[in-house]
């Protein structure tokens, strides 16, 4: 009787082990899918912001470069008109300064957006991690309760078969 009782317990433990492995595997697949979606969204947003920033910076730098080139052409043409040359140079340098300031401002905006986006994603990841931990705890409790109920039923069955 004791051998049969031990065999029943071993079988029950094997069934529980297989069930736990299956539940764990399914849970990990779901978790992996959620994380892949999160990373995909994060990568898409970062690419979009980076592309917008690159376009704005490229445009500003092209304008700045074009204005600098025009400034040099004016210097060559106005060699005889010294006063006018100074005025043109001052205007060109002021425009270049404004463009450089615009590039700096664009960079600051990009850095701020990137930082905020990173903080947002970090907070989201933290929340998702907490949610996953809660789900795992709930699953563990559920499995433990089911295991205890099955063991009690098994013990009752074994005791009733031993008594009757």
Write out pLDDT tens, residues 96-132: 999 999 999 999 999 999 999 999 999 999 999 999 9
- For the whole model, what pTM was predicted? 0.35
In the structure, what pLDDT confidence band is assigned to residue 91 with cuts at 50, 70 and 90?
very high
pLDDT at 107: 94
Say what percent of the chain tops pLDDT 70. Answer: 95
Decide if pLDDT at 6 tops 80: no
Secondary structure (H, E, C), the chain: CHHHHHHHHHHHHHHHHHHHHHHHHHHHHHHHHHHHHHHHHHHHHHHHHHHHHHHHHHHHHHHHHHHHHHHHHHHHHCCCCHHHHHHHHHHHHHHHHHHHHHHHHHHHHHHHHHHHHHHHHHHHHHHHHHHHHHHHHHHHHHHHHHHHHHHHHHHHHHHHHHHC
The pLDDT mean for the chain works out to: 88
């Amino acid at each position: 009787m004791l051998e049969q009782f031990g065999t029943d317990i071993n079988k029950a433990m094997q069934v529980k082990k297989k069930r736990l492995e299956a539940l764990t595997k399914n849970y990990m697949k779901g978790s992996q899918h959620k994380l892949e979606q999160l990373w995909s969204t994060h990568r898409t947003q970062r690419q979009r912001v980076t592309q917008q920033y690159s376009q704005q910076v490229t445009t500003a730098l092209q304008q700045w470069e074009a204005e600098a080139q025009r400034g040099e052409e004016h210097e060559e043409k106005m060699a005889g008109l010294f006063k006018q040359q100074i005025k043109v140079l001052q205007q060109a340098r002021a425009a270049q300064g404004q463009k450089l300031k615009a590039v700096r401002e664009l960079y600051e905006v990009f850095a701020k957006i990137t930082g905020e986006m990173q903080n947002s994603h970090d907070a989201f990841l933290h929340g998702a991690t907490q949610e996953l931990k809660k789900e795992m705890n709930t699953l563990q409790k559920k499995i433990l309760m089911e295991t205890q109920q099955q063991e009690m039923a098994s013990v009752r069955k074994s005791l009733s078969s031993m008594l009757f």
